[in-house]
Amino acid sequence: MPQFNFADALPQIVWLVVIFSILYLSLTRLLPKVERIVEHRKDRIAADLRAAEAARSEAEDASSGGSNAISDARSRSLAVTGRARDEAAAATAHTLARIDADLAAKAEAAAQGLATAKATAAAELDAVATEAAVDLIARVAGVSISNDEAAGAVRKAAA
């Protein structure tokens, strides 16, 4: 193995010392910079944490004030909607009462019209039945009867 060749050991030792010296010098110069960067980051993180804590406490204060405002607004909105609901219910009740009265009047007028139409139809039906009875008796029996006799017979049969 060439690493264990003692004839070439001196150049290998020299190169080993040169390389380790370069590494040592570069680390001694870089290490303080790295330490400063780490300290700077620690300080910055601590400052950010303090700012976040301050912001959180401000947010909690604002939130408690906001929740009070929200509860006040909620109670006012409930009062307004309650009044609006009551006014709408009263207006609806008034409109329904007016419509019910109109419908009752129309129903009464329709009932009177129906009673009149029924009476008229019954009278006309009696007249038609009387004429039909006179005509039928004349055709079937060949006897002629008066309208008064036929009307009396129709009334008797209808009762």
pLDDT at 3: 63
Does residue 111 contact residue 91 with C-beta atoms inside 8 Å?
Answer: no
Element (H, E) at 95: helix 9-140
In this prediction the pTM is: 0.39
Average pLDDT score, the chain? 86
Q: Mark the ranges of the chain whose per-residue pLDDT is less than 50.
A: 1
For residue 96 the two structure tokens come to 């329904």
